[in-house]
Amino acid sequence: MAFAAPTAREYKDKDAIINKGSRLLFFVPWRNVTLAGTAHKPYYGDAESYRATEQDIEEFLEEVNSALPGAGLRRDEIVHVYAGLLPMAGVNEESGDVQLTKHFKIIDHAAEDKVDGLLSLLTVKYTTARGVSEVVMDRAVKKLGFGRKSQSRDKPIWGGDIDDYEAFVSREMQNMNGRLSSATKAHLLNTYGSRYNEILDVAGTDEALLTPLDADCSVIGAEIIYGVRNEMAQKLSDVTMRRTELGAAGKPSEQAVAQAADLMARELGWSEEQKRNEISEYLKTYQI
């Protein structure tokens, strides 16, 4: 289950409807570990240079333990740190707390920069993505004179053409390729939903592509190939961090990384040197 817990640190949000005087941290199950978040600190440097520091991690771990005093979480129990940049409205002069931008903004560059035909979106959070996308697409088609509004509120997302998820899983677990383990079947259904057959079509009769990349990993070889052929993956980090869940909950094993790199090299014609460079560049993702 997911839950929230207040930290011991005082926090005041001037825009909050109910201000309880402290920050809430959220704890969410994810890939057999727990996501804990979030922490916000001001950053004024170059976006490409941003990295979470060891001090950032220690400070956040202290906040987590203040919210869950009985857990006694340690630094060596942290397997991965997600860090990135959000639009900041300002910093509270008294407390130093970051005030995030609360609402998205569409920038029409015809008005701003005299560049017609270009819209940019400054957005805030993933949870509002569908609704924000609808507004942006409606603005775009209006500028183009198409006169048709977005259909996204009525159209299932990719893989989401499912009326009853439990019934869907029960049915497809029985119907799916008998060569697959129950764990692999569940992984494909949870990840790709009603479109899971597209992954199996990539594998065809190649047993190796139906096998997880290693014993501690759910991702199968066909997912790597699918990412290259159907989702424009060009770099190893594309498939490990954004097309599959391979690196989503921490650093994968050397075997899993090597297997993924071998499959991409075969698809994209990489040399041995390029393959080594891709592996080296990807592993830097986990360096602080």
More confident residue, 12 or 172: 172
Tokens in use for 142? 């209006």
Q: Measure the CA–CA gap between 277 and 251, rounded to whole angstroms.
A: 17
What is the pLDDT at residue 32? 83
What is the DSSP code string of 100-167?
A: E--S-EEEEHHHHSS-TT-EEEE---GGGHHHHHHHHHHHHHHHHT------TTTSPPTT---S-HHH
11 — pLDDT class (breaks 50, 70, 90):
low
pLDDT digits (tens, 9 = 90+) for 219-276: 999 999 999 999 999 999 999 999 999 998 889 999 999 999 999 999 999 999 999 9
149 has a pLDDT exceeding 90:
no
189 has a pLDDT exceeding 90:
yes
Instruction: Decide if 191 contacts 220 (C-beta within 8 A).
Output: no
Average pLDDT value for the chain:
90
DSSP-based three-state secondary structure for 66: helix
More confident residue, 285 or 147: 285
DSSP-based three-state secondary structure for 25: strand
What is the pLDDT at residue 98? 86
More confident residue, 262 or 178: 262
Q: Measure the CA–CA gap between 264 and 277, rounded to whole angstroms.
A: 13
Helix axes 254-268, 272-283, angle to 10 degrees: 140
pLDDT digits (tens, 9 = 90+) for 88-144: 888 887 777 888 888 899 999 998 899 998 999 988 887 888 899 999 999 999 988
Q: Name the pTM for this structure.
A: 0.82
pLDDT digits (tens, 9 = 90+) for 47-95: 989 989 999 999 999 999 999 999 999 999 998 998 888 888 888 877 7
26 has a pLDDT exceeding 60:
yes
Among residues 39, 48, 53, 52, which one has the least CA distance to residue 96?
A: 39
19 — pLDDT class (breaks 50, 70, 90):
low
> Helical H runs in 157-253?
165-175, 182-192, 196-203, 221-230, 236-237
Q: Measure the CA–CA gap between 56 and 60, rounded to whole angstroms.
A: 6
Q: Measure the CA–CA gap between 232 and 226, rounded to whole angstroms.
A: 9
What is the pLDDT at residue 23? 82
20 has a pLDDT exceeding 60:
no
What H or E segment, with its residue span, contains residue 33? Answer: strand 33-37
Q: What are phi and psi of 22, to 5 degrees?
A: -145, 165
| CB atoms closer than 10 angstroms to residue 256 | 20
Instruction: Give the alpha-carbon dihedral of 43, 44, 45, 51, to 10 degrees.
Output: 0
What is the pLDDT at residue 21? 63
What is the pLDDT at residue 205? 86
DSSP-based three-state secondary structure for 181: coil
22 has a pLDDT exceeding 80:
no
Among residues 137, 145, 140, 142, which one has the least CA distance to residue 118?
A: 140
